[in-house]
Structure 1
Amino acid sequence: MVDQPQQADQRSFVRRRAVPLLAAATLTSIFVAAYFAGQTHALRQANQATTAQAAASGADLPSGLKLPTLDATAAFSSEKFSMATGFVSANAEGLFVLDHNSGLLQCSVMYPRLGQFLGLFVVNVHDALGTGKGAEYMMMTGLVDMPSSNSNPLASSVVYVLNTTTGMYACYYIPFNRTMMNSNKPQQGNLVLLATGSADPVVDRDAIR
């Protein structure tokens, strides 16, 4: 009879000691699991960053695989001037500058081999868009796919000019000669008016019926 209370006390003591030990073991397991999960996440992020950097630089790509490229042009207008860029060939870019006061539009082309502006094409946009006090303009370039030849040279871009006062706009193409550029020969000429339009046209309802 005396042994039974002693055994009961021993079992109660073991239970009281086992509960904290089990709790400590559980917490330790949680911390260890969280630590390794965090390390795995950090390694995954590092690998993703490395892969992104390699993709951006084009390194370590499978043979025959090329990333797509983006060819962009830019345009900007201020109170007195408008400026834009556009490709005149696969290897050269044109710089378009418009003087709002005089209406003079210039396209300067840099020859990449020489690093010099050796192509110059000009036109006065007032002839097509009119002029007036306080006239303001916007300008941008676009791609064109028209046949060209040595007798009829044509750049890869056209330039659009908008008179924001009247809403009239015009499109010009550049008679750029790639053969002369490849021969490092300077060239100049006039920008050629391709078409005109209006941002606020009068709709002929009878014509569209």
Structure 2
Amino acid sequence: MKVDSTTRFWLASFGVGSVMTAFAILGMTVGFNWQSPAREIPINASTAASSETMCAATGRIDEEMEGLFTLDCLTGDLQCAIINSQTAKFAGLFRANVLNDLGLDATKKPSYLLLTGNASFRATTGNSRPADCVAYVVDASTGRFVAYGIAWNRNISARGGQQSGVLMPLDKGTARNVQIRN
């Protein structure tokens, strides 16, 4: 049986088209699977706001708890109120006064900034370990700053219990290298 050139052309075109279609389907399948994550990627968001007399910022304390950090610009009182996601009630209150830690004169009017950041401290022994959040207080007048942390007990938190304590200064520094006259 003799096949004419037109039939050979169409058979070859069909064969090449089929192979190209198979590669296109394979490429799209691999591409889509490669682009879609195999697991969920957690998203953490925090925010901060301020006025002349009050600064506020939020931060993740652990996997299920959110903290509201407030700084009274008139007194220098910093506190973190932590809400329990299971009970929808405040389950923790931690406090500090930033004036001494920043080395500020109580009679001068500081200009504060309050920010939070995520932290993953190395595990420590016992039930209490640092929370997953660090609060940063900056005095824009002097450039001095302090980082604060919380000793958080996840077992008490899981039971819905109350916690309180001190916001601990972790470290401090200065962002300004020259003295500015008042």
User: Normalization by structure 2: what TM-score?
Assistant: 0.71
Query: Cα distance, 1:65 vs. partner?
Result: 4.3
Task: Report the residue type matching 1:140 in the other structure.
Answer: L
Q: What do residues 135-193 of structure 1 show as CA deviations (whole Å, max 9, x unaligned)?
A: 11001011222223435421001100001111100001111111111011101000111
Q: Is the 8 A contact 2:92 2:163 kept in 1?
A: yes
- Structure with max Cα Rg: 1
Q: In the aligned structure 2, how far is the partner of 1:68 from the partner of 1:188?
A: 31
Map 1:34-183 to 2 at 5 A: 65-66=38-39, 68-129=41-102, 130-131=104-105, 132-147=107-122, 148-150=124-126, 152-183=128-159
Query: Cα distance, 1:201 vs. partner?
Result: 3.0
Query: Cα distance, 1:69 vs. partner?
Result: 4.5
Q: In the aligned structure 2, how far is the partner of 1:185 from the partner of 1:64?
A: 36
Could you say which structure has the greater relative contact order, defined with CA pairs below 8 angstroms and 6 or more residues apart?
2
- Aligned-residue sequence identity (percent) comes to 34
In structure 1, list runs of 5 or more residues that go unmatched. 1-62, 203-209
Count the aligned residue pairs: 141
Distance 1:139 1:103, change over 3 A: same
RMSD: 2.0
User: Normalization by structure 1: what TM-score?
Assistant: 0.62
Of Structure 1 and Structure 2, which has the larger fraction of its residues in helix? 1
Q: Runs in 1 of length 4+ with deviation above 3 angstroms?
A: 63-69
Of Structure 1 and Structure 2, which has the larger fraction of its residues in strand? 2
Query: Cα distance, 1:194 vs. partner?
Result: 0.6
Query: Cα distance, 1:64 vs. partner?
Result: 7.3
Distance 1:77 1:179, change over 3 A: same
